[in-house]
Amino acid sequence: MRKTSIVLAAGIVASLSTIASAQSNYFFDIRNTVGAINTPALPFSSTPGQGLAWTGGPSWPNDGLAGGGKGNGQILRICPPLSNGAHNTVAGSSFGNSWPNIDADNDCSTGDLFLYADVGADDAGTNGVISSIGLDIAIGAPSTRYVIASSAWTWTLTDATTPVNFGFAAGTPQGPGGQLGVSGIKYVKVPVSGASTYATAGGLIQNTFTQLGRLRVTAAPRNATGAATGCAQVTGANPHANQSTYNVSMNVNNLLITRTYSTVTTPASVDEIVSFGYTGGAPDVTTNGSTSGPAPGVRDAVIQVRLKVDFNGDGRATAADVPAMSAATGVAGASTSQSTRYLGDLNGVVGAPAAAPITAADIPAATALVNAMLGGGLCP
C-alpha cells in the first residue's frame, strides 16, 4: 500500500513539473529542535560551524569544545547496559537522566540522531519545493567491543497540509536488527491542490531549515560480544572507546532527492545538488540528488557506545578514571566539552546553562557504578 502510494506520487511529480538544479544540505544533529540549533545552549557554544573537522582517527569523538551551529551535534554517545542492571539502579536513579538524554526515555542506552534539511532558494525556477527524499543510512560495521543492537528510522515531518498526495516509508534494517543502519527511507509529497493545481504548500520543504526525522539507535549490553572482546579492557593508542565508535553516512537511494517548480527559468539545470553533513563548519562536498549510490566526502555523524565515567576509554569504569572525573567536577559549563559532560554527568542535574554540569552530586552515582564493576567480575 505504502509502496504504491510512493510510486503514484512520484509519477505525479514527474508529470507536473520540471526538476531543476538547487542546493540542499541534509545533516544529523543530536539536538531535537531547529530552535536548539539556531539558539545553541551549553554544552554547545554560540560559535557557528563545526568546531573540529574530521580528517581521520579518533579525534572527533573525543572532542574539545564544539561550536553550536549546524553540524555541531553530529556525535551521539550512548551507554552499553550493564548485564547486572546496575546502570538502572545506581544511586537510586538511572543514568537515563544524564546528558544528553534528549530523547527523554530515561535510558542512556538509546539515543537519537535527528535529521535536518537546510534547503536554500533556487533561482532556476519559481516556487521551488523539495518533493522527494530518498535516503539510505549506513552505520559502520560492528566491532567486537561495544556494539549497536538496533537502529530504526521515524519520519517527524508532518503531513498536515492538504491535499495529501504523499507517501513515505521508514526503510528496512541493514543487517541484524538494523545495527548497520536503515535503507530504503523514502518520502514523497506532491505540490498540488485541488485538480492538479500547483501549490507549494503541498510539497515537502520550501527554502527552509526543518527537521525531517530521527534515527534511533540502541546499544547492546556490554557483554554482547563476549568476555574476551566486548568486556575486555583495552588501553593504549587505540583504546576500547575508539573501537566502539561508528561512522554514520547517508546516500541517495532510488527515490532520489528532487525539487519541483511551478515555472522553470533555467531548464538546463535539472538536478538537485545535495550535500550530507558538515565538516569543518561547512556543508560536506556535494553530490547529485538524481543519482543514487554512495555519497562523497567524510562521515556524516558518529555514534560512540561508551560507559559513563570511562574517561580513559578503556571500556570499564574503574579507579583509573577517578582523577579525570575529579578534575571535571566543579568546572563551569562553558569549559566542559560534550564528551566530558557525557562521561561525568550522571544525575542530569546541571542547573543554569553556565553552571558546572558535573558536581559532587554526581560522585555517588559514579561510585556506585565503579563498585558495580568491582563486584561483577569481567562482564557486569
Partner 1 sequence: MKMAHSSMVVALFVLATTASAFGDVAVWYSAVGNNPQSGVEAGAGPLQRLNLTCDTSAAAACSWVVTMNTNIQGGLTGYGTNLFTSPGNGVAAAGAANVAGATGNPFPGALPGVGGTGASLLTGSAGFTFAAPGTGNLQLITFTLTRNMNAGDLSVASISASHGDGDWGNADPAFSDAFGFDRAVRYGPSTALNGSAFDDNGNLRVGDAAVIQITGVPEPTSLTLLGLAALVIGRRRR
* Residue 10 vs 363, nearer CB to partner 1: 363
User: Least distance to partner 1 from the beta carbon of 110, Å?
Assistant: 26
* Residue 243 vs 258, nearer CB to partner 1: 243
* Residue 142 vs 380, nearer CB to partner 1: 380
The two beta strands, 22-29 and 272-276, are parallel
User: Least distance to partner 1 from the beta carbon of 228, Å?
Assistant: 4
The two beta strands, 197-198 and 192-193, are antiparallel
Cis preceding linkage at 191, omega within 30: no
Q: Name the one residue in this structure whose C-alpha cell is 556506585.
A: 368
* Residue 170 vs 234, nearer CB to partner 1: 234
Helices H / strands E in the chain, number of each: 6, 19
Identify the CA nearest to 329 among candidates 368, 364, 365, 356.
356
How far, in Å, CA of 316 to CA of 327, rounded? 18
User: Least distance to partner 1 from the beta carbon of 326, Å?
Assistant: 7
Q: 356: Cβ–Cβ under 8 A, 6 or more apart, which residues?
A: 329, 330, 331, 332, 333, 336
> Buried b vs exposed e over 246-267: b needs ≥16 C-beta within 10 Å?
bbbbbbbbebbbbbbbbebeee
User: Least distance to partner 1 from the beta carbon of 340, Å?
Assistant: 15
User: Least distance to partner 1 from the beta carbon of 320, Å?
Assistant: 4
User: Least distance to partner 1 from the beta carbon of 84, Å?
Assistant: 13
Q: How many residues does the chain have?
A: 380
Cα-based angle 29, 30, 33 (whole degrees, multiple of 5)? 80
User: Least distance to partner 1 from the beta carbon of 243, Å?
Assistant: 10
Helix/strand/coil for 222: coil
User: Least distance to partner 1 from the beta carbon of 220, Å?
Assistant: 17
Do residues 16 and 260 make contact, with C-beta atoms less than 8 angstroms apart? Answer: yes
| Residues within the interface to partner 1 (CB under 8 A) | 226-229, 231-236, 312, 314, 316, 318-326, 363, 366-367, 370-371, 373-378
* Residue 210 vs 233, nearer CB to partner 1: 233
* Residue 299 vs 316, nearer CB to partner 1: 316
What backbone torsions phi and psi does residue 100 show, to the nearest 5 degrees? -85, -30
How far, in Å, CA of 2 to CA of 119, rounded? 26
* Residue 57 vs 377, nearer CB to partner 1: 377
Do residues 324 and 312 make contact, with C-beta atoms less than 8 angstroms apart? Answer: yes
How many angstroms from the chain centroid is the CA of residue 357? 23
* Residue 83 vs 127, nearer CB to partner 1: 83
Give me the residues paired with residue 146 across strands.
Answer: none
User: Least distance to partner 1 from the beta carbon of 319, Å?
Assistant: 2
* Residue 320 vs 349, nearer CB to partner 1: 320
Neighbours of 91 (CB within 10 A): 17
* Residue 35 vs 236, nearer CB to partner 1: 236
User: Least distance to partner 1 from the beta carbon of 224, Å?
Assistant: 14
Identify the CA nearest to 17 among candidates 121, 163, 129, 134.
129
Helices (H), the chain: 2-16, 34-38, 240-243, 322-328, 338-344, 363-374
